Amino acid sequence: MGALRPFFTINGGSFRAWRFSLSCDEVLQHVEKVVEEKGLLLVDINLFQAGRRKVLRILVDKPGRVGLDECAEVSRAAGNVIETLGLIDGSYTLEVSSPGIGRPLTSEIDWIRCTGRRIEIETKEGKLTAVLTGYNNGILTMDDGGTVDQSCILSAREVL
Protein backbone atom coordinates (compact mmCIF):
# COMPACT_ATOMS: atom_id res chain seq x y z
CA MET A 1 0.00 0.00 0.00
CA GLY A 2 2.92 2.39 0.53
CA ALA A 3 3.16 5.35 2.85
CA LEU A 4 -0.02 6.93 4.13
CA ARG A 5 -0.59 10.48 2.91
CA PRO A 6 -3.34 12.95 3.75
CA PHE A 7 -6.45 11.99 1.79
CA PHE A 8 -9.38 14.39 1.96
CA THR A 9 -11.79 16.23 4.16
CA ILE A 10 -14.27 18.96 3.31
CA ASN A 11 -15.73 21.75 5.41
CA GLY A 12 -12.88 21.70 7.92
CA GLY A 13 -13.53 18.23 9.33
CA SER A 14 -11.68 17.40 12.51
CA PHE A 15 -10.43 13.97 11.48
CA ARG A 16 -7.13 13.25 9.78
CA ALA A 17 -7.86 11.44 6.58
CA TRP A 18 -5.54 9.10 4.75
CA ARG A 19 -5.08 8.16 1.14
CA PHE A 20 -5.31 4.53 0.18
CA SER A 21 -5.28 3.36 -3.44
CA LEU A 22 -8.22 5.41 -4.69
CA SER A 23 -9.05 8.79 -6.12
CA CYS A 24 -10.46 11.22 -3.57
CA ASP A 25 -12.12 13.19 -6.36
CA GLU A 26 -13.87 10.04 -7.54
CA VAL A 27 -15.15 9.10 -4.07
CA LEU A 28 -16.29 12.66 -3.38
CA GLN A 29 -17.98 12.94 -6.78
CA HIS A 30 -19.95 9.70 -6.37
CA VAL A 31 -20.90 10.26 -2.72
CA GLU A 32 -21.98 13.83 -3.45
CA LYS A 33 -24.20 12.59 -6.29
CA VAL A 34 -25.82 9.95 -4.05
CA VAL A 35 -26.46 12.52 -1.30
CA GLU A 36 -27.94 15.07 -3.72
CA GLU A 37 -30.19 12.40 -5.30
CA LYS A 38 -31.65 11.83 -1.83
CA GLY A 39 -32.39 15.57 -1.52
CA LEU A 40 -29.74 16.11 1.15
CA LEU A 41 -26.68 18.33 1.59
CA LEU A 42 -23.21 16.82 1.98
CA VAL A 43 -21.82 18.57 5.07
CA ASP A 44 -18.60 16.62 5.58
CA ILE A 45 -16.84 13.50 4.34
CA ASN A 46 -13.77 11.86 5.85
CA LEU A 47 -11.82 8.71 5.12
CA PHE A 48 -9.49 7.82 7.96
CA GLN A 49 -7.67 4.95 9.61
CA ALA A 50 -9.01 3.81 12.99
CA GLY A 51 -6.67 1.14 14.29
CA ARG A 52 -6.56 -1.54 11.61
CA ARG A 53 -9.72 -0.50 9.83
CA LYS A 54 -10.61 2.20 7.33
CA VAL A 55 -13.64 4.35 8.10
CA LEU A 56 -15.56 6.48 5.61
CA ARG A 57 -17.68 8.96 7.59
CA ILE A 58 -20.34 10.96 5.74
CA LEU A 59 -22.32 13.79 7.37
CA VAL A 60 -25.54 14.88 5.65
CA ASP A 61 -28.17 17.48 6.47
CA LYS A 62 -31.23 19.29 5.12
CA PRO A 63 -33.59 22.03 6.25
CA GLY A 64 -35.50 20.64 9.19
CA ARG A 65 -33.93 17.42 10.40
CA VAL A 66 -32.42 14.35 8.77
CA GLY A 67 -34.11 11.14 9.84
CA LEU A 68 -32.60 7.75 10.51
CA ASP A 69 -34.28 6.32 7.41
CA GLU A 70 -32.62 8.96 5.23
CA CYS A 71 -29.20 8.15 6.70
CA ALA A 72 -29.84 4.46 6.02
CA GLU A 73 -30.82 5.21 2.40
CA VAL A 74 -27.62 7.20 1.83
CA SER A 75 -25.58 4.44 3.47
CA ARG A 76 -27.07 1.75 1.22
CA ALA A 77 -26.75 3.82 -1.96
CA ALA A 78 -23.22 5.09 -1.22
CA GLY A 79 -22.09 1.60 -0.17
CA ASN A 80 -23.46 0.11 -3.39
CA VAL A 81 -21.67 2.69 -5.54
CA ILE A 82 -18.39 2.31 -3.65
CA GLU A 83 -18.52 -1.48 -3.89
CA THR A 84 -19.66 -1.60 -7.52
CA LEU A 85 -16.95 0.80 -8.69
CA GLY A 86 -14.28 -0.55 -6.31
CA LEU A 87 -13.53 2.92 -4.94
CA ILE A 88 -12.07 1.70 -1.63
CA ASP A 89 -9.73 -1.27 -1.56
CA GLY A 90 -10.34 -3.86 1.14
CA SER A 91 -12.80 -3.70 3.98
CA TYR A 92 -14.00 -0.45 5.49
CA THR A 93 -16.71 0.85 7.79
CA LEU A 94 -19.24 3.27 6.33
CA GLU A 95 -20.86 5.71 8.77
CA VAL A 96 -23.62 8.09 7.69
CA SER A 97 -25.17 10.55 10.12
CA SER A 98 -26.31 14.13 10.55
CA PRO A 99 -24.05 16.71 12.24
CA GLY A 100 -26.18 16.77 15.38
CA ILE A 101 -26.91 19.29 18.09
CA GLY A 102 -23.94 21.00 19.69
CA ARG A 103 -21.64 20.82 16.69
CA PRO A 104 -19.65 24.06 16.27
CA LEU A 105 -20.96 26.33 13.53
CA THR A 106 -18.17 28.09 11.67
CA SER A 107 -18.81 28.34 7.95
CA GLU A 108 -21.29 29.85 5.53
CA ILE A 109 -22.66 26.39 4.78
CA ASP A 110 -23.30 25.90 8.54
CA TRP A 111 -25.31 29.13 8.74
CA ILE A 112 -27.36 28.24 5.67
CA ARG A 113 -27.92 24.69 6.95
CA CYS A 114 -29.10 25.97 10.35
CA THR A 115 -31.55 28.57 9.04
CA GLY A 116 -34.79 28.01 10.92
CA ARG A 117 -33.04 26.38 13.88
CA ARG A 118 -32.24 27.62 17.38
CA ILE A 119 -28.57 28.52 17.80
CA GLU A 120 -26.42 29.88 20.59
CA ILE A 121 -23.86 32.52 19.65
CA GLU A 122 -21.09 33.87 21.85
CA THR A 123 -19.56 37.26 21.07
CA LYS A 124 -17.39 39.62 23.14
CA GLU A 125 -20.63 41.26 24.28
CA GLY A 126 -22.09 38.00 25.63
CA LYS A 127 -24.27 35.06 24.61
CA LEU A 128 -27.38 35.12 22.45
CA THR A 129 -29.82 32.26 21.89
CA ALA A 130 -32.34 32.70 19.09
CA VAL A 131 -33.66 31.15 15.90
CA LEU A 132 -31.51 31.92 12.88
CA THR A 133 -33.84 33.26 10.18
CA GLY A 134 -31.33 34.19 7.50
CA TYR A 135 -27.74 34.57 6.41
CA ASN A 136 -26.43 37.00 3.79
CA ASN A 137 -22.87 38.19 3.15
CA GLY A 138 -21.60 37.40 6.64
CA ILE A 139 -24.63 38.79 8.48
CA LEU A 140 -26.87 36.48 10.51
CA THR A 141 -30.49 37.57 11.03
CA MET A 142 -32.28 36.30 14.12
CA ASP A 143 -36.00 35.79 14.85
CA ASP A 144 -36.00 38.73 17.28
CA GLY A 145 -35.08 41.04 14.38
CA GLY A 146 -31.48 41.46 15.51
CA THR A 147 -28.42 40.81 13.38
CA VAL A 148 -24.95 39.50 14.15
CA ASP A 149 -21.86 40.01 12.01
CA GLN A 150 -20.15 36.64 11.51
CA SER A 151 -16.75 38.27 12.14
CA CYS A 152 -17.83 39.11 15.73
CA ILE A 153 -18.70 35.51 16.63
CA LEU A 154 -16.34 33.77 19.06
CA SER A 155 -18.29 30.50 19.01
CA ALA A 156 -21.67 29.22 17.88
CA ARG A 157 -23.59 25.96 18.02
CA GLU A 158 -27.03 24.58 17.39
CA VAL A 159 -29.14 24.03 20.53
CA LEU A 160 -32.57 22.62 21.34
Residues of the chain with CATH 3.30.300.70: 5-97
pLDDT per residue over 82-138, tens digit each? 999 988 888 999 999 998 888 889 888 889 889 999 999 999 999 999 999 999 999
- Checking if the pLDDT of 15 tops 80, the result is no
Long-range contacts of 105-111 (CB under 8 A, 24+ apart): 105/156, 105/157, 105/158, 106/12, 106/156, 107/11, 107/12, 108/135, 109/11, 109/41, 109/43, 110/156, 111/135, 111/140, 111/150
The predicted structure's pLDDT at residue 9: 44
The predicted structure's pLDDT at residue 23: 55
Q: If you average pLDDT over every residue of the chain, what do you get?
A: 84
- Checking if the pLDDT of 13 tops 50, the result is no
**How does residue 35 score in pLDDT terms, banded at 50, 70 and 90?**
very high
CATH class, 5-97 region: alpha beta
1-10, 58-67, 117-126: which is most confident: 117-126
Task: Quickly list DSSP for 112-127.
Answer: HHTTTSEEEEEETTEE
The pTM of this model reads: 0.69
Q: Which residues contact 154 (CB under 8 A, 6 or more apart)?
A: 122, 123, 124
The predicted structure's pLDDT at residue 113: 84
**Fold that domain 108-158 belongs to in CATH:** SH3 type barrels. (2.30.30)
Residues of the chain with CATH 2.30.30.100: 108-158
